[in-house]
C-alpha cells in the first residue's frame, strides 16, 4: 500500500542559558564579568531524498526534535550550538501547517531543504550587560524556547505522463510492456490499488516516467471508488494518456465520464494535454469501435491511437509521440528553491499585546512579551527588575492597571505565573 499522507510533530531546540560569572585570577583585581552566552538551539529541516518514494517510515516515528544549545560558561565561553534535526522525505512532498492548512514548502528536487522550525536563541551572559556605569551586572538570560508545530505531509508522485482510464482498460498491462515496472495484473476491476511508476526508455538518451494510476469511475472526485485517493498524483504530470477499453459497451461514454471527474477534481488537471489510446485493438469488438472513436477525437482536435498492450501493436508509435509532445511542454512542478525558511508572522512585528481577564487571574498575550518572560531568570533580582522595566516600556504595566489588576492577583504570561505587586 502506498503511504502518501502523514502527520508529524517537530520541535526545534531551546537556546542555552547565559552564564553569570566574574573573572577571578591571581594578580588580576577587578576582573569584571566574563559570563558567556548560551548556544542557539538546533533547527528542524525537511530534506528531499531521492532514495525514498513513500511516507511509510512516518508510521514508526512521528516526533522529531532538534538538540538544545549548551549553557554559556565563564571566561566568556559561549555554549555549543544544538545539532539540527534533518527529516528525510521523498521528492514530491508538499508540506502544510497541520493547524492552519497553510502550504509551507513543495520539495521536488533531491537535496532540497526547508526549515520548518527555527532553534531558540541562546541567552546572553552577564558580560554582555556590562556598561561603564554598571560594571558588575549579576544578570543573564535563559535560552529562548524552540518552536513546535504539527505538519501535514502530502506526497505527489513526480511523473512526466499519467495513465488514466476506467478500471480494466489495460493501464497496468501497458506500463508493464513499455517499462520494467511489474504491477499486479488481473481480469477484475480495481486490481491496481496504488500508483505504479515506470521509466519508458525510447533510446539511449531519451526516456520519461510513466505513472499508472488506479482506475477512476463516476463519482471519483467525490470519493467513490479507489482512484479518487490518488488523483493528486496526476497533478504533477505534464501529459495524460487517456486509455479507453476497446471492448467496453461505449468507450466514448467512458471517455466523457473520466474527463468529467478530472474537471470536478481540478480544472487545472482537466486542462492538461491528452493523447487518447483505444486499447485491445487486436479484438474484433475494439476494431468495430475504432472508426467512431477516431472520428470524434479528430473533430475535437485530439490525437488518437489504436493500440494493443498485449500484442504491442501501435504501442511504439504511441510512446514516441508521447516523448515528442513532452519536449514541447514546460515542467509542471515549481522550480526548487534553496534554503526556504519558516518565519512565524508573529515574530516579525510584534510589540502588540492583549490583556485578558481569566477566572483565576489575568492573561497577557503577545509574542514579544511571552518571549521576554520565558528568557527571564526571576531568581536573579537584577533580571526580575529588568523584566519590570520592559513591561513598563511596552505599556503592559499601564494596561493591566487600566484593566483593574489588584495586588495579589495572578498574571500569566506564556508559561509564567506572576503575582502582581504595586
List Cβ<8 Å contacts ≥24 apart for 320-324: 320/202, 321/275, 322/161, 322/200, 322/208, 322/239, 322/241, 322/275, 323/200, 323/202, 323/206, 323/208
Q: Which fold has domain 1-155?
A: Spo0b-associated Gtp-binding Protein; Chain: A, (2.70.210)
Q: Using 50 as the pLDDT threshold, list the residues of the chain that sit under it.
A: 1, 186, 188-193, 218-227, 335-350
Phi, psi of 115 (to 5 degrees): -85, 120
Residue 169, SS3? coil
The DSSP secondary-structure symbol of 62 reads -
Residue 256, SS3? helix
Biggest CA pair distance of the chain: 106
Nearest one of 170, 144, 112, 136 to 306, comparing CA atoms: 170
Say which CATH architecture domain 348-419 belongs to.
2-Layer Sandwich (3.30)
| pLDDT tens digits along 348-381 | 444 689 999 988 899 999 989 999 999 999 999 9
What span, in angstroms and rounded, lies between the C-alpha atoms of 96 and 152?
Answer: 5
Q: Say how many C-beta atoms besides its own lie within 10 A of residue 173's C-beta.
A: 19
Nearest one of 254, 240, 318 to 281, comparing CA atoms: 318
How many residues would you count in the chain?
422
What pLDDT, on a 0 to 100 scale, did the predictor assign at position 359? 86
What span, in angstroms and rounded, lies between the C-alpha atoms of 138 and 127?
Answer: 9
Domain ranges of the chain: 1-155, 165-326, 348-419
Sheet with 274-279: strands ordered across: 196-201, 207-212, 161-164, 239-245, 274-279, 304-306
* Dihedral sign of CA atoms 311, 314, 315, 316 in order: positive
What pLDDT, on a 0 to 100 scale, did the predictor assign at position 237? 84
What pLDDT, on a 0 to 100 scale, did the predictor assign at position 190? 44
| pLDDT tens digits along 222-253 | 444 444 556 677 777 889 999 999 999 899 99
The pLDDT > 90 percentage for the chain reads 57
β-sheet bridge partners, residue 418: 411
What pLDDT, on a 0 to 100 scale, did the predictor assign at position 215? 58
What pLDDT, on a 0 to 100 scale, did the predictor assign at position 337? 46
Superfamily of domain 165-326: P-loop containing nucleotide triphosphate hydrolases (3.40.50.300)
Amino acid at each position: 500500500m502506498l503511504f502518501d499522507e502523514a502527520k508529524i510533530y517537530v520541535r526545534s531546540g531551546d537556546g542555552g542559558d547565559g552564564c553569570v560569572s566574574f573573572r577571578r585570577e591571581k594578580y588580576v583585581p577587578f576582573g569584571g564579568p566574563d559570563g558567556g552566552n548560551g548556544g542557539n538551539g538546533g533547527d528542524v529541516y525537511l530534506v528531499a531524498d531521492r532514495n525514498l518514494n513513500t511516507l511509510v517510515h512516518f508510521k514508526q516515528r512521528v516526533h522529531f526534535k532538534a538538540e538544545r544549545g549548551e549553557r554559556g560558561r565563564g571566561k566568556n565561553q559561549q555554549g555549543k550550538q544544538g545539532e539540527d534535526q534533518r527529516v528525510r522525505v521523498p521528492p514530491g512532498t508538499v508540506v502544510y501547517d497541520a493547524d492552519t492548512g497553510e502550504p509551507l514548502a513543495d520539495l521536488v528536487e533531491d537535496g532540497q531543504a526547508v526549515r520548518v522550525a527555527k532553534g531558540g536563541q541562546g541567552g546572553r551572559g552577564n558580560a554582555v550587560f556590562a556598561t561603564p556605569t554598571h560594571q558588575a551586572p549579576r544578570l543573564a538570560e535563559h535560552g529562548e524556547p524552540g518552536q513546535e508545530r504539527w505538519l501535514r505531509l502530502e506526497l505527489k508522485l513526480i511523473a512526466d505522463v499519467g495513465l488514466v482510464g476506467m478500471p480494466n482498460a489495460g493501464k497496468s498491462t501497458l506500463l508493464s510492456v513499455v517499462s520494467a515496472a511489474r504491477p499486479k495484473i488481473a481480469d477484475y476491476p480495481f486490481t491496481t490499488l496504488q500508483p505504479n511508476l515506470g521509466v519508458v526508455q525510447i533510446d539511449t538518451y531519451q526516456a520519461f516516467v510513466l505513472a499508472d494510476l488506479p482506475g477512476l469511475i463516476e463519482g471519483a472526485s467525490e470519493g467513490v471508488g479507489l482512484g479518487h485517493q490518488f488523483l493528486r498524483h496526476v497533478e504533477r504530470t505534464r501529459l495524460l494518456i487517456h486509455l479507453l477499453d476497446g471492448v467496453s459497451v461505449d468507450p466514448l461514454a467512458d471517455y466523457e465520464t473520466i474527463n468529467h471527474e478530472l474537471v470536478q477534481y481540478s480544472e487545472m488537471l482537466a486542462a492538461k494535454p491528452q493523447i487518447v489510446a483505444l486499447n485491445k485493438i487486436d479484438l474484433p469488438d475494439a476494431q468495430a469501435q475504432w472508426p467512431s472513436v477516431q472520428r470524434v477525437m479528430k473533430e475535437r482536435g485530439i490525437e488518437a491511437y489504436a493500440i494493443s498492450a498485449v500484442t504491442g501493436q501501435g504501442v511504439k508509435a504511441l510512446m514516441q509521440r508521447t516523448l515528442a509532445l513532452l519536449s514541447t511542454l514546460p515542467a509542471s512542478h515549481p522550480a526548487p528553491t534553496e534554503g526556504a525558511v519558516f518565519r512565524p508572522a508573529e515574530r516579525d512585528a510584534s510589540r502588540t499585546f492583549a490583556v485578558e481577564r481569566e477566572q483565576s487571574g489575568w492573561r497577557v498575550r503577545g509574542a514579544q512579551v511571552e518571549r521576554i518572560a520565558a528568557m527571564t531568570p526571576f531568581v536573579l533580582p537584577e533580571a526580575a527588575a529588568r523584566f519590570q522595566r520592559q513591561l513598563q516600556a511596552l505599556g503592559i504595566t499601564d494596561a493591566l492597571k487600566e484593566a483593574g489588576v489588584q495586588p495579589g492577583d495572578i498574571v500569566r504570561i506564556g508559561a509564567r505565573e506572576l503575582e502582581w505587586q504595586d
